[in-house]
Amino acid sequence: MPDNSINHYHRLIQELRARGFRITTPRCWTLRVLSEQSGHMTSEQVYQSLHEYDIQVDEATVYRTLQWLADNRIVTRTNLGLGADVFSLYHEPHHHLVCLNCRATIEIDDSVFADLRSDLRKAHGFVPQMDHFAIFGLCKLCQSQATDQAAD
Amino acid sequence: MPDNSINHYHRLIQELRARGFRITTPRCWTLRVLSEQSGHMTSEQVYQSLHEYDIQVDEATVYRTLQWLADNRIVTRTNLGLGADVFSLYHEPHHHLVCLNCRATIEIDDSVFADLRSDLRKAHGFVPQMDHFAIFGLCKLCQSQATDQAAD
DNA sequence: ATAAGTGCAAATCTTTTGCAAGTGC
DNA sequence: GCACTTGCAAAAGATTTGCACTTAT
């Protein structure tokens, strides 16, 4: 486990303890595997990872743990249109471009939403909680393929 | 059925026929109920509406029909975070602000995404297909309630 | 006539839940 | 000790699918 992952993981545990939450095996290890994978995991994937560490945790418990972490804003839960929701640590907000054709996902910075955020607030008094967003469309490559096909 | 709904409905049928698709009872009536309801319907709601017209169509067929309409870009399919996906006619692109607290949804114009669209294209060569989008957050009212509670 | 669409029933997949037993503090 | 968590099994909800039958063209 890389140093920064370990540190991040320990910081999270401390934070939960400080907030008065109980530290249990499923919670510890769920956070561990999420810290290692900088990416996004389905509940199923978290479950598999735990078992690779020989940590026997029930699948329902993984769901409950992830849901609980999401409720406490430790992780985000996102529907990337891939069937199951994906979960990831909620540190720096970031978002995804998902190609409808090849399913590639491009990670993008939160800053692209700065203007949109202030527009929505001004126009509708609405404060978006865009922690983790998925935008569907066509990636560069798949666009050119589409163009090629049209030219046939 | 208001005139504009009827017209829109007939136009859609013509378009499908022109594209060489078969016009069947489930397709006709699904488009009819979607035309009447300017809003968004779950598959279940479409199913119920059909039965209110005494049109006996199987629930699986409603799913297949809606999926087919979505594949052919006649309707959009969106996950508003309410359990079931919602479907609506794909005429003018529009989007939704969904309040995480009270579940109110505010319909917003597509124009708010104009800048975002061009940014994403410039920065990542990505062309978003944001036909029908859901942004979660807190509405004006629920924000002030949250503030009130914090003040208690 | 025939390819496409539908009804029916059952399966699949994701997620949630009730309850008894276990565990952190 | 006691409230909070978990395991287990089962349910719930959304959506898909296999297959024989029907229908639009």
Distance, in Å, from the CA atom of A103 to the CA atom of A77, rounded to the nearest integer, reads 19
Q: How many CB pairs under 8 A join A and B?
A: 87
Contact A116 B120 (CB under 8 A): no
Distance, in Å, from the CA atom of A133 to the CA atom of A109, rounded to the nearest integer, reads 10
| Res B139: pLDDT | 86
| Res B151: pLDDT | 47
β-strands A75-78, B105-109 pairing? unpaired
Q: Convert the pLDDT of each residue in A56-108 to its tens digit.
A: 999 999 999 999 999 998 998 988 777 899 998 877 677 888 887 777 778 88
Residues contacting residue A117 through CB under 8 Å, at least 6 positions apart:
A128, A130
**Footprint of strand D, using CB within 7 A?**
A 21-22, 24-27, 56-58, 60-61, 64-65, 68; B 17, 22-25, 42-44, 59-60, 63-64, 67, 83-85
Residues 59-88 of A with CB under 8 A from B: 79, 81
Contact B116 A119 (CB under 8 A): no
Is nucleic acid strand C under 7 Å from A43's C-beta? yes
Distance, in Å, from the CA atom of B88 to the CA atom of B38, rounded to the nearest integer, reads 8
pTM reported for the whole predicted model = 0.73
Q: Convert the pLDDT of each residue in A23-67 to its tens digit.
A: 999 999 999 999 988 678 999 999 999 999 999 999 999 999 999
| Res A134: pLDDT | 79
Protein-covered nucleotides on strand D (Cβ within 7 A): 4-10, 13-18, 23-25
Of A132 and B41, the one with more pLDDT: B41
Distance, in Å, from the CA atom of B19 to the CA atom of A53, rounded to the nearest integer, reads 55
Residue B114 contacts A where some CB pair is shorter than 8 Å:
no
Of B110 and A4, the one with more pLDDT: B110
| Res A95: pLDDT | 82
CB B124 within 8 A of CB A108: yes
**Tens of pLDDT along chain B (152 residues)?**
666 777 788 999 999 999 999 999 999 999 999 998 767 899 999 999 999 999 999 999 999 999 999 999 899 888 877 789 999 887 767 788 888 777 777 888 888 888 889 999 999 999 888 777 778 888 888 887 766 655 44
| Res B6: pLDDT | 77
Q: Convert the pLDDT of each residue in B36-46 to its tens digit.
A: 876 789 999 99
Of A62 and A147, the one with more pLDDT: A62
